[in-house]
Structure 1
Amino acid sequence: MSHVKQFSGLALFICVLQMANSETIENFLNIEFVRVPAGVSVMGTEDLEAAAMEMPEPDVNKLHDESPAHTVVFEQPFFLSKTEITQAQWLKVMENKPGPENNWQQKNWRDLPAVSISWFMAQRFAKELSKLDKHYNYRLPTEAEWEYAARAGSTDLRPWPLDDLEEHAWFINNSGDEPQPVATRKPNAFGLHDMIGNVWEWTADWYASDIYKQGRRINPKGPEKGNARVRRGGSYHCPLHLTRVGYRSADDPGKRYSVLGFRVVAEKK
């Protein structure tokens, strides 16, 4: 039995416990945050063979940065925004309208995820929101926090059966190749929406292809320096093989794309 397998039952127990005892908070802008419990989980892709079967052959070599799958421990719970930050939330804080003009002309523009957000812009949003809020500070989640929250107790390629993917995620098969209003797909077991699909999400961490080999297991954080920041979760434009919870991607922190947004962690002041 692998080290990862030994902990899978505990991780699933945490998932069930959270489903029965979910807790949320809401800030002054009515942004809702879900309590992600302290606990133990898997990080990385355990079944590389199954993942490879979904991928185009030229991309299979990229799986190396998802291994080895390993056990991670989070000693404290944290509050993660229930959805990606929306255009309405961005506008209230930053007073500008990033992204394609068409997104802002839709009837449902308020509930569309804010996109064309660079990592630096996401950081500025968190900083400005922290200034405005008397009770909470905000930050981007670490890559490990993001995957832990996205897995919600699962050790599989996805937190739900493949046949249920379209009920939980917006991707190329069902999105019309356009961003969709947040929280219009089913949440994961922690109560978080769109952790897979709709838009890619920035994390706080620098990217390193070998970070999983470095043995960071307790409250893990990324490397201290790098050239690209990690983004996770896939988007409305992504094919099936990019909708896996363990899939890793990274980009220049100054880049902006219409498929790229973020969510934030809230911490008491």
Structure 2
Amino acid sequence: MTPLDRFLLSAALALAAASGSARAAPSADNPTVKDPLSGITFVRMAKGCYQMGVPADAFADQDGAFRRRVERTEGPVHEACIDEFWIARHEITEAQWRAVMGPRPGAGADDLPVRGTSWQEAVAFTARLSERAGPGWRYRLPTEAEWEYACRAGSAPVTALPDRGRMDGVAWYSSPYGRASAGKRPRNPQPAGRMSGNAAGLHDMLGNVWEWTLDAYADDAYRRHALFNPRIDSAARGVSRTARGGSIRSDIRWMRCEARTSLDAETRLDTVGFRVVRVPSGGK
């Protein structure tokens, strides 16, 4: 962080304290609002700063390929300051898609997360929702920094690799030690919102389906991030996009808020979905 960044951060913190702005870590009793058109329930995430990413030596005892990938793509740890936003309580479902976009071929049950949608189609959903929303608000995909902030319920620190004790009942994933290890483990995404929520009251942030974010993908994204509302932006066609959260077919090591992967923007997989955020129309 440069001296100017430190000064700006100190000034922002002082201003928030003086104005009484909420900066505490979001909790499960956060305010919510339900969009009348789509039926999406949004949870408020308070403005705040956190340490984004994973320390270089966090998983030193893991195999070399895994450790190198983490070190290359999930660091360095850096401060990210996020303005207030509202994020969908769980992944967008088939019923919510239909309410906004109309029927689509091959749709599953109403409570299943929408799958097989490309990044462009997810962006089109948010654009349509913005067009039909009332004045003052717009909708978009979350940035990587917002997504991780929401997954960690604000500023929860990076701990160890996930294990069965922490993941059972929280995430649908694939592992010999998974939720359904006593019988046949499900291979296909499950109804949204069935697992326990995190400390912010958000469900399925980990597992079930990968979730598109707004950001273009770059291995060195964290070395390029701004302090405030960081985002790797690109309008170029063919640029890969970042997905977060892992899926029901992902190994347990992907069940981490910090894990990130690259997908072609035109990818349509039955393990990839999305959720949306709600921000003031004049905001970022």
Both structures adopt the same fold (TM-score exceeding 0.5): yes
Q: Answer 1 or 2: which has greater helix percent.
A: 1
Alignment match, 2:165: 163
8 A contact 1:80–1:266 mirrored in 2 = yes
Deviations along 1:75-126, one digit per CA (max 9) or x if unpaired, are x21000111000111122222335xx4x62xxxx111100001000001111
| Aligned-pair CA distance for 1:53 | 4.1
Alignment match, 1:217: 227
8 A contact 2:28–2:199 mirrored in 1 = no
Unaligned runs of 5+ in 1: 1-12
Alignment match, 1:61: 68
Distance 1:268 1:218 in 2: 17
After TM superposition, the structure 1 = structure 2 runs for residues 40-79 of structure 1, keeping only pairs within 5 Å, are 40-46=49-55, 48-50=57-59, 53=61, 57-63=64-70, 64-74=72-82, 76-79=83-86
8 A contact 1:159–1:245 mirrored in 2 = no
Distance 2:273 2:74 in 1: 22
Alignment match, 1:97: 104
TM-score by length of 2: 0.79
Q: CA RMSD in A?
A: 2.3
Alignment match, 1:10: none
Larger Rg: 2
Unaligned runs of 5+ in 2: 1-22, 180-184
With over 3 angstroms needed to count, the CA separation of the structure-2 counterparts of 1:120 and 1:20, relative to structure 1, is closer
Alignment match, 1:4: none
TM-score by length of 1: 0.83
With over 3 angstroms needed to count, the CA separation of the structure-2 counterparts of 1:69 and 1:244, relative to structure 1, is same
Q: How many residues align?
A: 245
After TM superposition, the structure 1 = structure 2 runs for residues 68-217 of structure 1, keeping only pairs within 5 Å, are 68-74=76-82, 76-97=83-104, 101=106, 104=108, 109-135=109-135, 136-152=137-153, 153-157=155-159, 163-172=165-174, 173-174=178-179, 176-217=186-227
Moved over 6 A (4+): 158-161
With over 3 angstroms needed to count, the CA separation of the structure-2 counterparts of 1:111 and 1:38, relative to structure 1, is same
Alignment match, 1:7: none
Secondary structure of residue in 2 paired with 1:83: coil
Alignment match, 2:41: 32
Identity of aligned residues (%): 35
Distance 1:139 1:129 in 2: 9
Distance 1:82 1:262 in 2: 11
8 A contact 1:151–1:158 mirrored in 2 = no
With over 3 angstroms needed to count, the CA separation of the structure-2 counterparts of 1:20 and 1:181, relative to structure 1, is closer
Distance 2:28 2:269 in 1: 37
Alignment match, 1:3: none
Secondary structure of residue in 2 paired with 1:110: coil
Match of 2:265 among 222, 229, 253: 253
With over 3 angstroms needed to count, the CA separation of the structure-2 counterparts of 1:158 and 1:33, relative to structure 1, is farther
1:266 aligns with 2:246: no
Distance 2:54 2:219 in 1: 14
| Aligned-pair CA distance for 1:48 | 3.8
Which shows bigger deviation, 172-181 or 229-238? 172-181
8 A contact 1:47–1:157 mirrored in 2 = no
